[in-house]
Amino acid sequence: MRILLIEDEKDLAAIIRQGLEEENYVVDVAHDGEEGLYMAENFSADVVILDIMLPVMDGLTMLTKMRHKGISTPVIMLTARDSLVDKIKGLDIGADDYLTKPFVFGELLARIRSLIRRKVDVKQAAICIDNLEINTANHEVKRGGKGITLSAREYALLEYLAYRKDNVVSRTEIIEHIYHEDSDMDSNVVDVYINYLRNKIDKGAGKKLIHTVRGAGYMLKSE
Ligand code: CA
């Protein structure tokens, strides 16, 4: 999953970015509202984390413009402790959630997961497809109750397919949501990682859950 972080305090932005990357998110960072709006329009973020006090264009103005442009990506606002007015205004102009600075990182992670689940209409942190269980909170993957060890990239790919379960996901969409713009990925890489996943998830498990949809992409589903 891809997160757009718009935060002008560079030290804080770096800490949040690192923490998110450790959770296997792909993170784009903007340091002002104008750059943030450009990135929201042009990169396929799954969640936007938006600081309200920003240079060039403040967060509330940026959010208003973003919603006017029809960009419906879920937004978590970061607000100062005493800014009740900003919180109310932000929620009214289309923010989905807010966190008051300073916040505990684990709470930010839980709110991100919650917004992603809402967006894809999944209700719990654990996503089940047949006897495959993917716990998006602690990244544990089990099939038939047996733990499966995945690399960070394999997990990110499986999690993305799981959030979109029963839907065909194209290679382009996978690259946009789980790899960095600058990582020079072509769609063959997706096929390679799908093969790794198949070996760990489907091989010897009886029923196949990872399906190739010819000419379209991949789908995680229980037949
Ligand atoms: Ca700020």
Q: Which of 85, 100, 119 is the last residue of a domain?
A: 119
Calculate mean pLDDT across residues 143-166: 94
pLDDT tens profile 71-105 = 999 999 999 877 888 899 999 999 999 999 999 99
Q: Which of 72, 99, 119 is the last residue of a domain?
A: 119
Distance between Cα 215 and ligand 1 center (Å): 45
Calculate mean pLDDT across residues 30-56: 96
What is the total count of domains within the chain?
Answer: 2
Distance between Cα 133 and ligand 1 center (Å): 39
Is the predicted pLDDT of residue 182 greater than 70, yes or no? no
Q: Which of 86, 119, 152 is the last residue of a domain?
A: 119
Q: How far is CA 43 from CA 37, 84, 96, 156, in A?
A: 10, 30, 19, 18
* Cβ burial 88-117 (10 Å sphere, 16+ → b, else e): ebbeebebbbbeeeeeeeeebeebbbbbbb
Calculate mean pLDDT across residues 170-181: 84
Range of the domain at 186: 126-220
Structure tokens at 93: 């102009």
Same domain, 39 and 142: no
Higher pLDDT, 23 or 123: 23
Same domain, 12 and 109: yes
- Per-residue model confidence (pLDDT) at position 204: 85
Ligand 1 is an ion; residues with CB less than 5 A from it: 8, 51, 53
What CATH number is given to the structural domain containing 147?
1.10.10.10
Calculate mean pLDDT across residues 104-132: 91
Same domain, 140 and 89: no
Distance between Cα 63 and ligand 1 center (Å): 15
